[in-house]
């Protein structure tokens, strides 16, 4: 358990998801604790209009808590939420320029699809003609017009998801919040709905924030990814940033496979067993040099690499699009290498290598 007593409060993480556009949403020192349990540590985060933001992390890391604080469904213990220049920290959900699609969709089972989609506008007292016209537009947008007079239980999971999106989007929120929107769907439907969400985002042009524990989903949809672990923001960046330039050990392993070699940093120079060294600013001490398996070259291809080791092939696994090798290095460490093809066999002596630009340094 991630209690305050075992995780002393750190200074807030200061991250900007977009330094060029003025931020639409600005979170300052936002935190949530339940008694001594710190679900979200104080964080600062800004993101701009039109952003498609993914909050990514394992179960229990605080993603939903952060999303619900944005939507007004959970009251923060500390900090402020400013949206479009207005401090909405103490505003209830209906007074915020946000709308949330919950896991499980939350459709009213006894109302038709048309009534479900128009519900928010009716409650807001909009004239019938406007409600009808906007419902028709929304049903067209999510390609669900033929289902307008059906009830939610008569629809498939993917169709209900589309209706939940339409019901949220009809309110024209400045920020659409989506909590694990595709969690209940099978893989094919999930992929189709991801495509649908991408289309909706580009057609409507609003700001979307979605929670997911699926790194592939975050990388394929999001313009910016907020990676969380144990209540803290570990990194904010594009898919390329978090995959190719992870800032922490957690991010390195959560967003993909990573090889690590233990190294020592002294006076801003990192060295591995006198095999190689390179400049890297930071505190003195033990660090880890990381490299992705697909960046590792094998055999003759390793000859031109900046950093090279020798080893023995332990295992060769054919994965269709690529071949994955496990190599035991002469220093005893195990390395994964993924190549588009290759004919090496277990027991073969092999040289491995990678380019300096493909590595990163983290502390454990
Ligand atoms: P998941 O992907 O499983 O939904 P999550 O990252 O969204 O996880 P949260 O739902 O934000 O996680 O929960 C963060 C932590 O806060 C969890 O450990 C959870 O048990 C705890 N938590 C959430 N709500 C409460 C509550 N009302 N009282 C006490 N602890 C809570």
With a CB cutoff of 8 Å and minimum separation 6, the contacts of 21 are 48, 49, 50
Q: What is the pLDDT of residue 6?
A: 34
Q: How high is the pLDDT of residue 8?
A: 38
pLDDT tens, position by position, 314-334? 999 999 889 999 999 988 889
Quickly count: other Cβ atoms within 10 Å of residue 63's Cβ: 23
Q: What local confidence, expressed as pLDDT, does residue 331 receive?
A: 84
Residue whose CA is at the smallest distance from ligand 1 atom 24: 65
Q: How far apart are CA 351 and CA 302, in angstroms?
A: 6
CATH code of the domain made up of 25-97+173-250: 3.40.50.300
Helices (H) and strands (E) in the chain, counts: 8, 21
Distance CA 76, CA 32 (A): 5
Nearest-atom number in ligand 1 for the CA of 228 is 6
> For a pocket test of ligand 1, which of 32, 35, 39, 229 has the largest count of ligand atoms closer than 8 A to its C-beta?
39
Cα(146) to centroid of ligand 1, in Å? 38
Expressed in angstroms and rounded, the spacing between residue 358 Cα and the centre of ligand 1 is: 36
For ligand 1, atom 9, name the residue with the nearest CA: 62
Distances (CA, A) of 114 to 55, 108, 152, 177, 265: 31, 11, 10, 22, 63
Q: What per-residue confidence (pLDDT) applies to 267?
A: 93
The whole-number pLDDT of residue 25 equals 96
* Same fold: 25-97+173-250 with 258-363: no
Q: Rounded to 5 degrees, what angle do the CA atoms 299, 302, 303 make?
A: 105
- Beta bridge partners, 310, equal 351
CATH class of 258-363: mainly beta
CA 60 / ligand 1 centre spacing (Å)? 5
Q: How confident is the chain (364 residues) per 10-residue block, as mean pLDDT?
A: 37 46 89 96 95 95 96 97 95 93 86 95 94 93 91 90 90 91 80 86 90 93 96 96 95 93 93 84 93 93 91 94 93 90 90 93 89
Closest CA to 147 of 134, 162, 133, 132: 162
The pLDDT of residue 21: 55
Residue to mutate (ligand 1; options 2, 3, 37; most atoms within 8 A of CB) = 37
Q: Is residue 82 within 8 Å of 28, Cβ to Cβ?
A: yes
CA distance 162 to 289: 44
Domain ranges of the chain: 25-97+173-250, 258-363
Please give the DSSP secondary-structure letter assigned to residue 3.
Answer: B
What local confidence, expressed as pLDDT, does residue 20 receive? 52
Q: How many residues would you count in the chain?
A: 364
């Amino acid at each position: 358990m991630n209690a305050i007593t075992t995780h002393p409060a750190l200074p807030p993480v200061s991250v900007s998801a977009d330094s060029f556009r003025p931020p639409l949403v600005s979170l300052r020192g936002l935190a949530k604790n339940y008694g001594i349990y710190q679900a979200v540590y104080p964080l600062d985060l800004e993101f701009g209009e039109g952003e498609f933001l993914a909050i990514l992390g394992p179960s229990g890391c605080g993603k939903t808590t952060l999303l619900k604080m944005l939507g007004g469904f959970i009251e923060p213990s500390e900090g402020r939420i400013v949206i479009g220049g207005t401090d909405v920290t103490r505003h209830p959900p209906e007074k915020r320029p946000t709308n949330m699609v919950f896991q499980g969709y939350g459709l009213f089972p006894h109302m038709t699809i048309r009534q479900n989609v128009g519900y928010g506008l009716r409650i807001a007292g909009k004239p019938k003609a406007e409600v009808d016209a906007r419902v028709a537009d929304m049903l067209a947008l999510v390609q669900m017009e033929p289902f307008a007079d059906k009830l939610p239980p008569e629809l498939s999971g993917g169709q209900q998801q589309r209706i939940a999106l339409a019901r949220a989007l009809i309110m024209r929120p400045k920020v659409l919040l989506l909590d694990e929107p595709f969690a209940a769907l099978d893989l094919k439907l999930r992929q189709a709905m991801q495509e649908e969400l991408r289309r909706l985002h580009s057609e409507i042009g609003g700001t979307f924030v979605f929670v997911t524990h699926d790194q592939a989903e975050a990388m394929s949809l999001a313009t910016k990814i907020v990676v969380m672990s144990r209540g803290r923001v570990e990194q904010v960046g594009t898919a390329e940033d978090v995959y190719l330039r992870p800032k922490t050990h957690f991010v390195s392993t959560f967003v993909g496979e990573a090889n690590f070699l233990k190294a020592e940093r002294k006076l801003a120079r990192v060295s591995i067993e006198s095999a190689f060294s390179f400049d890297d600013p930071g505190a003195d001490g033990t660090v880890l040099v990381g490299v992705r398996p697909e960046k590792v070259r094998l055999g003759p291809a390793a000859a031109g690499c900046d950093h090279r080791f020798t080893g023995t092939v332990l295992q060769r696994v054919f994965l269709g699009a690529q071949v994955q090798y496990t190599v035991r290095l002469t220093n005893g460490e195990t390395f994964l290498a993924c190549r588009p093809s290759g004919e090496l066999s277990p027991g073969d002596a092999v040289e491995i290598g990678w380019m300096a630009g493909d590595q990163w340094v983290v502390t454990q």
